[in-house]
Chains A and B, each alone.
Chain A
Amino acid sequence: MGQAHQRHNSALSPETDEMSLVFPARPMAVRRALRASMTGFSRLSLTSDESGVIEIVLAEVLNNVVEHAYAHHKDGVVELRVKRRKDSLEFTVLDDGVPLPNGALPKRSEHCLNVPVEDLPEGGFGWSLIQELTRDLRYHRSNVRNKLEFTIKLADTQII
């Protein structure tokens, strides 16, 4: 249970510009999927900053699926697909959970942090991180499926 099982290619390589991972929607499985994803990118010459950005975005997107789309569904499955482009990575995240509230991406908003400590927000940072660090963020709901797509720009996507 909880083992991230692999389908198709689980790494970008000289032979393939696509990879995908399918895993259970549980916090520890997300941890393993993040590790597997970052391993899948190990042939790219990512800077430590770029790796950080990718891992932050994927963590937020996948945690959202676990905590919200599958909040009342214990056996949910998530699929992550990645395509290597000339100067970016294109990501698609699929799940069969409930749709986003109002069926759309949340509006961009900024927390007010100029408040007493006891009023500081403890959540709601996820979407702002995703919006800040990605490009071309798109959400599509079809039938029973959520599809989130986004791009992360990289200095260099050459396979080494």
Chain B
Amino acid sequence: MELAHFDTAGARVITVNEHRIDAAIAISFKDRMRELTDQGPDRIVVDMTQVDFIDSSGLGAIVAAMKQVGPSKSFELAGLSGTVQKVFKLTRMDTVFTIHATLETALGGPIADAG
């Protein structure tokens, strides 16, 4: 389960360095997300650009990650690929999450301090 992160002035960006969030890694995804969202800025943006597939277990893990962040922080997603978008749309979870087309639009401009 590969998650990377960096902080900008106002946001913690968590990059999912996996091609799939599925039943095989859903639990470790949720656990690792808890570690990475416990600290840092109050705005969390999960960069999903590299993820080309999620199943319902993966979706459940993303919902769980948002729930464990709690209402005091903002939990947002960016860069959903075609099939990932489809799963969000079919389950209507696209109405629950704030979803940005790309990480760049989520952060309102080019990423200066990536890495």
Interface on A for B, CB 8 Å cutoff? Answer: 27-28, 30-31, 48-49, 51-53, 55-56, 59-60, 63, 66-67, 110-111, 113, 117-118, 120-126, 128-129, 132-133
Contacts and interface: CB of A to CB of B under 8 A. Distances in A.
Contacts, number: 79
Interface of B: 20, 22-24, 53, 55-57, 59-61, 63-64, 66-67, 71, 82-83, 86-87, 90-93, 95-96
A63 B55 contact: yes
A27 B55 contact: no
Given A28-B24, A52-B82, A122-B67, A113 B96 contact: yes
Nearest to A31: B24
Contacts of A56: 55, 83, 86-87
B55 A120 contact: no
Contact of B63 (A27, A59, A120): A120
B23 A129 contact: no
A53 B67 CA distance: 28
12 contacts: A59-B55, A63-B23, A63-B57, A110-B92, A111-B92, A113-B95, A113-B96, A120-B63, A122-B61, A122-B63, A128-B90, A132-B90
B27 to A, nearest CB: 10
B68 to A, nearest CB: 10
A55 B64 contact: no
Given A67-B23, A118-B67, 6 more contacts: A27-B24, A52-B82, A60-B55, A60-B56, A122-B63, A122-B64
